[in-house]
Structure 1
């Protein structure tokens, strides 16, 4: 929208308060605030939702891979051949054996349910998700035959264990006696404590070398599953499709979407719903802009009539009032983007402050899955939010501007 010199001068004058127009300016200020709050809320909510998905995806697939080939009854025969075939499949980066078994753990007179994971020594040493979140101890101590394990931070708190403590793992697969099967109880030393940031992992995982897990569970040379890492998680279905014929009759293949389908689908539905709901805030702000412009047009009816008699065209009046309304919208968008950025930068501090003031735990990891409020801002989504806010502001501005352009100077100045 190109304005000439006098149009810019008039638009600037209408944007600033003059005597007797303080109320109109206050309404315009509320409009700017409403747009700012709507834009800020959208940016904050969408960034947090994206952060949730990204954090959960990275940590879940970092420990479980993009897909698993799971044997029937928890045992996978010929796993070496299956893993080798998977590694040769186009799009597969790596395939490693894995054992997972729910057991009981005991320490200091406390008993907790745990999920024992048997990984290869190489996987324990090189797994980036695990190695980046060690809080105490050393993963290098977790070697076959060492009798040492790594446990989650919240499990360590529940058992009162720390590096150097002893814990007992209780397996129902024990030796048979005349009075029945006796549980198998094996003592291990805690070699490391990790905190992934996902409550379920930190509260239950006990990680040990593959060989030790096989001995504990009496599996011999068998494993429970093969973990598969792919080059493109979004195309995991197509990548692992050739493995279906090899696994048939021995087990099933489950990708990361199936393992966490309810969680990720709920996040996606909530993300769309929040976008639509928060757009309503911007729509309300757009109505405020329209209200302030309508009041401005009514207050400036005589000025408009005089400008028309001096040669100003209807289009010039349209441009002037469209500029006023769009400027209010743009200022609100800029303020909202700044507020959103500030909130996201200090997001965890804000959460902690609110918890301190209210005395309520707003971020219970057992409910929220993650230990801290995540954030990941998508520039494309921010662009869409800005464009939506600008579009709604422009639409709300159009009708008052059209009313100003339709002013008949003869009717207004007839009795002047």
Structure 2
């Protein structure tokens, strides 16, 4: 680009005499781009924060990787655990026994997933021990028949610490009266609250040895839960385990067990990106109307430049510079304001709530007291590049129209 093309293009961005309205439209376009870019960054950061929050809550109960047999039992779990820990990515392992059951107290009955655990090992692969509202996981001792319930499950049953509940399992026992369900009384020794209704209302924990007796599994367990150092590498680690472990095992990672949920969240994020990108697109294409008015206003200038020897390409570059300046400044303002707002969303939102007396998220409903935010610099880069591309595309038609100006026609009435 020649120096005079850049100089004239930058000069046309400033208001002179008759074109104050044109400069006002340019300012509106610039602010529109900045607003759209900032909104995109903030919304995607909040969605990233929610996704991480949900993932951490789900993985606070579910394992990164689960290993079981094809008949949903695992006889040699100690050997499998030892082989799994040979991989440097595997941080901890924990066996479990799981089965369906009914939990009854007084006149209330609720279905639940009953999981037998070793409290010490379970603390190394899950966060339930840090989410206890009452009691501790260590209170689950073999032979004492203690049980830890989700807070919502306990509330629906109407039980408190120390109450005795009856667990009914589908594994029946033969009596003179025929086949009847197995019943066992447990004492409530703890309550937990993860913040996910699926678990808080439908999960009960007991000691693993008690679960083996209750579900008649003998020395077998249902499977082995693994925690790895990088949860995003769970699929790769699962493939390594498939090659490492001897025998037939069914290996499933968290991306498979909750694939529909996280796929839906990712799809929602993409849709929001497209919707909010329309704000940037509308603001960017306001540049078209701005440049069309500038081209009309500068017909005489264009004719003089053409008469002095400026090529049509040079005329085109002059007006593309003007549109590009609007896009670059608007994008830069949007990036800076969006990043600052996303990084300080935890301060800005409470200020707005306190000032206007509103509450965006009720802790009683969402189990989240503040908007989570996670700034992804990849998202910021993509948003900036897309905004600049839209701004540049918006300059092509008006600039091409300016380059087609006939000097003789433009100067006829001057």
TM-score by length of 2: 0.79
Contact 1:103–1:116 (CA under 8 A) maintained in structure 2? yes
Instruction: Decide which moves more: 186-195 or 125-134.
Output: 125-134
Instruction: Decide which moves more: 46-55 or 324-333.
Output: 46-55
Is the aligned partner of 1:15 residue 2:16? no
How far 1:246 moved relative to its partner? 0.7
Residues 241 and 327 of structure 1: CA distance in aligned 2, closer, same or farther (over 3 Å)? same
Report the secondary structure of 2:127's partner residue. Answer: helix
Contact 2:98–2:115 (CA under 8 A) maintained in structure 1? yes
- Name 1:238's counterpart in structure 2: 239
Report the secondary structure of 1:114's partner residue. Answer: strand
Q: How many residues align?
A: 406
- Name 1:190's counterpart in structure 2: 189
Q: Distance in 2 between matches of 1:32 and 1:325?
A: 10
How far 1:380 moved relative to its partner? 1.5
Contact 1:103–1:169 (CA under 8 A) maintained in structure 2? no
Contact 2:94–2:122 (CA under 8 A) maintained in structure 1? no
Stretches of 4+ moved more than 6 A in 1?
Answer: 310-313, 356-364, 369-372
Q: Distance in 2 between matches of 1:131 and 1:51?
A: 23
- Name 2:292's counterpart in structure 1: 294
How far 1:101 moved relative to its partner? 2.0
- Name 1:392's counterpart in structure 2: 390
Report the secondary structure of 2:217's partner residue. Answer: coil
Q: Distance in 2 between matches of 1:283 and 1:150?
A: 54
Is the aligned partner of 1:168 residue 2:165? yes
Residues 339 and 166 of structure 1: CA distance in aligned 2, closer, same or farther (over 3 Å)? farther
TM-score by length of 1: 0.79
Residues 78 and 358 of structure 1: CA distance in aligned 2, closer, same or farther (over 3 Å)? closer
How far 1:140 moved relative to its partner? 4.3
- Paired residues for 1:322-337 under 5 Å: 322-337=320-335
- Paired residues for 1:17-416 under 5 Å: 17-72=15-70, 74-88=72-86, 91-107=89-105, 109-127=107-125, 129-145=127-143, 147-161=145-159, 164-172=161-169, 173=171, 175-179=173-177, 180-195=179-194, 197-230=195-228, 232-242=233-243, 246-247=247-248, 252-306=250-304, 317-338=315-336, 340-341=338-339, 342=341, 345-346=344-345, 349=349, 374-416=372-414
Residues 105 and 312 of structure 1: CA distance in aligned 2, closer, same or farther (over 3 Å)? same
Residues 330 and 131 of structure 1: CA distance in aligned 2, closer, same or farther (over 3 Å)? farther
Please report the RMSD computed on the Cα atoms of aligned residues, expressed in angstroms.
4.0
Q: Which runs of 5+ in 1 are unaligned?
A: none
How far 1:56 moved relative to its partner? 4.1
Q: Distance in 2 between matches of 1:371 and 1:112?
A: 29
Report the secondary structure of 1:63's partner residue. Answer: coil
Structure 1 residues 161-202: Cα deviation after superposition (integer angstroms, max 9, x where no partner): 45x34251422246543223144132222324232x333222
Report the secondary structure of 1:377's partner residue. Answer: coil
Contact 1:92–1:239 (CA under 8 A) maintained in structure 2? no
Q: Distance in 2 between matches of 1:286 and 1:363?
A: 42
Instruction: Decide which moves more: 339-348 or 150-159.
Output: 339-348
How far 1:326 moved relative to its partner? 1.7
Q: Distance in 1 between matches of 2:166 and 2:45?
A: 41
How far 1:395 moved relative to its partner? 1.8
